[in-house]
Chains A and B, each alone.
Chain A
């Protein structure tokens, strides 16, 4: 069993340490509680654009990547609806380099027009590469706009459109930085060959002098209940018709979140799952199909998406999915089928935790959302 300890610095920074003497490496994972749900509806995609700017250099380290790489480290980051996560993997002996770099960009980010110019362009290319220039690439934009009318989950993390990214100003960047990037809004997770006591003392050394700020106000509008089915048909030049269905569900800190997670596993996790064996193999309606929950903190979506075989109509595909959903509603799931998805969850969690990188993030997010560490395992006790 992997254990961790948690402390809080005076300035509000939450610090987690998990000592693992079996590895020569260490991971520094720094999570900021800001994502696209904190964006203004006219400035979408900003949290992610800002993540790019965090690599543009800080007062004492003008070249973030270079400083980390010269210490034998490498790094990356990602943004989603709810959070922005930065991680550095480095030989444990050089962990202070990672802490120095992360603390300097938390305290003294170099915000300048040139860096903003370049990253606006890089992110626009990312938008094209992963969305505009991919078959079906804009489907998530359409789906979110349809599913949410008030809550900021109505746009994806990359942003609603290219225009919002192109129009981001230096003023926006500065405001965002001071509002969200400070110790009280962050969680630092250190995993690897660093003893816990040393990890806490190093965290205090490098982050202790950064002043705390007021925690950002949470003025995120709740999504009003949806009363009727909403539909949108998009005609596009794609080889196969595709169908996307989404259902509102509860937020992350609820038991039903985990039940929904298991339900989607029953539907589509593995080659013996219901949707694959019945709709892809037996009835041969879909070329591919999957179901999942989007993992959002606020009430999120349970999504089912599939591409239809040529010659099969969208109506036929949709009817078949509704039929499978009605079976879930009206018939008890057999114990054997439930045990199956629980076993898969157990394997997936264990194999994920072997990776130091996943471990660092897992501890940070559990603390971030104030979930007990093994809450996810609790879903194993869920009745049928």
Chain B
């Protein structure tokens, strides 16, 4: 390779970079049409095919998250234990079978759902699905595996409690929804110690086996995939009703307040702020998403511009609307150096106040509109991402019309509407503020 590169300027036209390239707006966004099928036993399959890559992803989603547990931590431990042994194979055998196919099978819970997800190479579709069905239908939750998982969880809890970000968000969620509410609690030592094998067996029987799931499948699959799914799931009772989504409000705390969690020997304070807003189907939902994007939802947001790019108080600061099935809430998070805590808080409240008192100018509105349209286009790029968007809509009782609605709101929202959203929902006296650190 030559050591020097010399450009001959004679032949080279210099480009005038003071002239920006023209921008073409993203004017419409087309969701790939979703294919649907009802499986023999009653579950509803949502499918987006792919022809390019020899990979598939399938998710079984059950209404069996924390919301449905009667004893704290049971949903989480059921999820963690489902791979740890079935009537046919022990934990190591199952793990080996999965790894030998180069596949991944993960089980996780959220506040509302328990999800079993498998990803793998298309030629192993049937073999992977067989293991998945075994994990779903025949787990035995062995006593000794449970004891180990509990021990690991108890020790992980000790590590988490060393982190200011963990302490602050725990306090925020407890304050917002209550220590005994499924959206408000994280299991503590006592909860973990009291988990029994019987709890998991009955949770699995009642909330998973007897509950038809939503199934989401994307990627390249064999031609006879419906037949394969039907034969593997014959063990599930042909079920009565598809899961219905209950959209009642949670009766969460409506009061704001300031909280401090002490943690010694730290170099930064974690700030978490938020408040409960409404059910996700609320008509203000899309407008609030746009408002929190302006506040702290992207790199050019007001909080990032002010607190990171102008002041250098933090590595990052974010705000968003987070949605459970039954509730949406405002969430704001950052970590700041100790000497910046007071000025950073003052700036955050000041930015919130500005949204409540001054209309967003047209230039900024165009910026956020274009940014959100580009992001939406990227969010549905390819069958896997598009299906993930469908999934989030469907699990919240929504559909493609709601996505169109969101796009319409992005393109048409006015500064006046944003101002009234801020007045209605960003009253500082109703915000919960948590700081975790040394003070």
Contact = CB atoms under 8 A, between A and B. Distances in A.
Interface of A: 10-12, 22-25, 59-61, 63, 65-67, 69-75, 89-91, 93-94, 96-97, 99-100, 103-104, 107-108, 117-126, 128-130, 132-135, 183-184, 205-206, 208-215, 237-240, 269-273, 277, 280-281, 284, 287-288, 307, 309-310, 336, 339-340, 342-347, 350-351, 353-354, 356
A97 B370 contact: no
B148 A344 contact: no
Interface in B306-335: 308-315, 335
Interface string B50-90: 00111100000000000000000000000000010000000
28 contacts: A24-B381, A25-B377, A25-B378, A60-B17, A60-B20, A61-B17, A65-B300, A69-B367, A69-B370, A70-B23, A71-B370, A72-B371, A94-B24, A97-B23, A118-B311, A119-B312, A133-B268, A135-B163, A208-B12, A209-B15, A212-B5, A237-B265, A238-B159, A240-B159, A287-B151, A343-B101, A343-B121, A344-B99
Interface string B1-27: 001111111001111011011011110
What's the interface size class on B, roughly?
35 or more
B12 to A, nearest CB: 5
B401 interface: no
A69 to B, nearest CB: 4
Contact of A287 (B7, B155, B374): B155
B74 to A, nearest CB: 22
B377 A72 contact: yes
B232 interface: no
B121 A346 contact: yes
Contacts of A356: 381
A129 B374 contact: no
Interface string B171-198: 0000000000000000000000000000
Contacts of A23: 381-382
B89 to A, nearest CB: 11
Contacts of A309: 151, 155
Given A72-B377, A271-B95, A343 B100 contact: yes
A71 B374 contact: yes
Interface centre among B268, B300, B308 (most CB of A within 10 A): B300
Contacts of B311: 118, 121
A65 B301 CA distance: 10
Given A25-B377, A212-B6, A309-B151, A91 B158 contact: no
A272 B99 contact: yes
Given A122-B315, A238-B162, A100 B17 contact: yes
Contact of B266 (A72, A133, A342): A133
B156 A287 contact: yes
B265 A121 contact: no
B401 to A, nearest CB: 22
B100 A108 contact: no
Contacts of B53: 350, 353-354
Contacts of B25: 72
Contact of B335 (A133, A211, A277, A307): A133
Given A94-B21, A351-B55, A12 B5 contact: yes
B345 interface: no
A70 B370 contact: yes
Interface in B355-404: 366-367, 370-371, 373-375, 377-378, 381-382, 384
Contact of B308 (A59, A73, A122): A122
Contacts of B158: 239-240
Contact of B83 (A184, A205, A271): A271
A25 B378 CA distance: 7
B337 to A, nearest CB: 6
A125 B151 CA distance: 34
A358 to B, nearest CB: 13
Interface of B: 3-9, 12-15, 17-18, 20-21, 23-26, 52-55, 83, 91-92, 95-96, 98-104, 119-121, 148, 151-152, 155-156, 158-159, 161-164, 265-268, 298-300, 308-315, 335-337, 366-367, 370-371, 373-375, 377-378, 381-382, 384
Contacts of B148: 281, 284
Interface centre among B8, B163, B268, B378 (most CB of A within 10 A): B378
A125 B335 CA distance: 8
Nearest to A286: B152
A70 B366 contact: yes
A277 B98 CA distance: 14
A342 to B, nearest CB: 8
Given A183-B5, A213-B5, A121 B312 contact: yes
Contacts of A239: 155, 158-159, 161-162
Contacts of B99: 269-273, 340, 343-344
A72 B374 contact: yes
B217 to A, nearest CB: 16
A213 B176 CA distance: 58
Contact of A350 (B54, B300, B373, B377): B54
Contacts of B384: 354
A287 B152 contact: yes
Contacts of A210: 7
Given A209-B12, A240-B158, A74 B101 contact: no
A280 B156 CA distance: 14
Contacts of B119: 347, 351
A97 to B, nearest CB: 5
A308 to B, nearest CB: 9
Nearest to B151: A309
A345 B103 CA distance: 10
B7 A209 contact: yes
